[in-house]
Amino acid sequence: MPTLPFEIGEYKTRLAKTKASMEKRGLDLLLVADPANMCYLTGYNAWSFYTPQIVAVALDRDEPIIVVRGMDVNGARETTWLKPENQIGFPDHYVQSTERHPMEYAAAQLKDRGLGKGRIGTENDAFFFAVQSHDALKKNLPDGRFEDASLLVNWVRVVKSPKEIEYIAQAGKIMDRVMEVAIGMIRPGVRQCDAVAEIYRAQIAGTKEFGGDYTAFVPMLPTGRGTSTPHLTWTDEPYKTGEATILELGAARHRYHCPQARTVFLGKPPAKIADTAKVVVEGIAAALDAAKPGATGHEVEAAWRAVISRHGITKDSRIGYSVGLNYVPDWGEHTISLRPNDPSVLEPNMVLHVIPGIWMDDWGIEISECIRITDKGAVPFCTTELKLFVKE
């Protein structure tokens, strides 16, 4: 048995909760393709999601079944709690073939085990579940009635166990170091790529006590006019006095993420940037104040909106979302959003990234906090000061 980041009992609890959600939906079989959900249920952790793969959860089976590329079955052996008979590899002539599809093989394996009948849920909105995968499963499991079960497991994941919280807290300690390194690297004349190289080193080296994992996002470092949009990365150009740089970064431990954003200005910032940063910090404080058990995503966003409205600032996009276990291309869980009309009710041990970025025509600011919801309210995982960093 491999050394797993969680006790087998925790995986079984996750499986039981997933089955309970399946029963509420009337599903007999759930086919999971999201790598994070596959990992959550089985422990499977490999960079193999560039080929079709699934985890099958049946109500009447004690263990899930994982189907991956043949060469990755040993990866299942090394990272999952599943018995060998529940680890299936498809032959390599199915890989990137125009004549056959890996999910044809998966369907045949499920039928051989008496599965594939009744109501079958699939993750139609998962990043790595292609239309061809869905079509192949549906065609080769003709006795099943397929329906979309996107986010079923995501919602099971939204309340974290004590061990999951522990890993996110460890990621938070790494994040403190990552942000310290990143802020230190933003200096006139330093190439953007050199700053990112040091950020990557800090992310992976972690702390003396524990190392880091690769993150679901690459480092985001828009600078100058690029700060008007959030998702630019870096170039080999040097940083310049008189410009801001946004740092939207993350740290991960056993695939559990703690993201954070700060903004650095080289030189004396214009009043519009300095003043807006103060409003953003005030708004975040109000949002964190509102982020208590029983509050909704709508109410947390409304607390933020009340602050910025007094200062004449508007923002259309959401100000936060749930985070935790994930793989590229997103560390968000696609469940709770902090935005108007989101009815999601906060509970203890939910984890949220509160990131109310402001992006104007030719400038922008990002300042954020990753928080845990406790019985008493929101508690940040990191210690980096909540402010605009100015380096004159």
What pLDDT, on the 0 to 100 scale, is given for residue 2?
81
Please state the length of the chain: 392
Report which residue type is found at 321: Y
Task: Say if residue 106 is exposed, middle or buried (CB neighbours under 10 Å; 0-12, 13-18, 19+).
Answer: buried
Where the chain has pLDDT below 70, the residues are none
Residue of 160, 154, 163, 159 lying closest to 7 (CA atoms): 163
Q: What is the pLDDT of residues 157-188, one digit of tens each?
A: 999 999 999 999 999 999 999 999 999 999 99
Cite the residue boundaries of each domain of the chain with CATH code 3.90.230.10: 162-391
What pLDDT, on the 0 to 100 scale, is given for residue 123?
98
Report which residue type is found at 107: A
8-157 fold = Creatine Amidinohydrolase; Chain A, domain 1 (3.40.350)
- Which DSSP letter does residue 341 get? T
Q: What are phi and psi of 147, to 5 degrees?
A: -150, 160
What pLDDT, on the 0 to 100 scale, is given for residue 22?
98
Kindly tell me the number of DSSP H helices and DSSP E strands found in the chain.
10, 16
CA distance 337 to 29: 28
What pLDDT, on the 0 to 100 scale, is given for residue 71?
98
Q: Cis omega (within 30 of 0) on the bond before 5? A: no
CA distance 47 to 35: 9
Cite the residue boundaries of each domain of the chain with CATH code 3.40.350.10: 8-157
What's the CATH number of domain 162-391, 3.10.129.10, 3.30.930.10, 3.90.230.10, 1.10.10.10? 3.90.230.10
Q: How many CB atoms lie within 10 A of CB 3?
A: 6
What pLDDT, on the 0 to 100 scale, is given for residue 52?
98
Residue of 276, 259, 268 lying closest to 364 (CA atoms): 276
Handedness of CA 362, 367, 373, 376 (dihedral sign): negative
29: tokens are 């079989």
User: Do residues 250 and 259 touch, judged by C-beta distance below 8 A?
Assistant: yes
Which residue intervals of the chain are DSSP H helices? 8-25, 35-42, 73-79, 102-112, 131-140, 152-157, 162-185, 192-205, 271-290, 297-310
172: tokens are 């938070």
17: tokens are 């909760």
Half-sphere exposure of 356 (CA within 13 A, CB side): 28
In angstroms, the Cα distances linking 98 to 62, 92, 101, 209 are: 35, 13, 8, 48
What pLDDT, on the 0 to 100 scale, is given for residue 338?
98
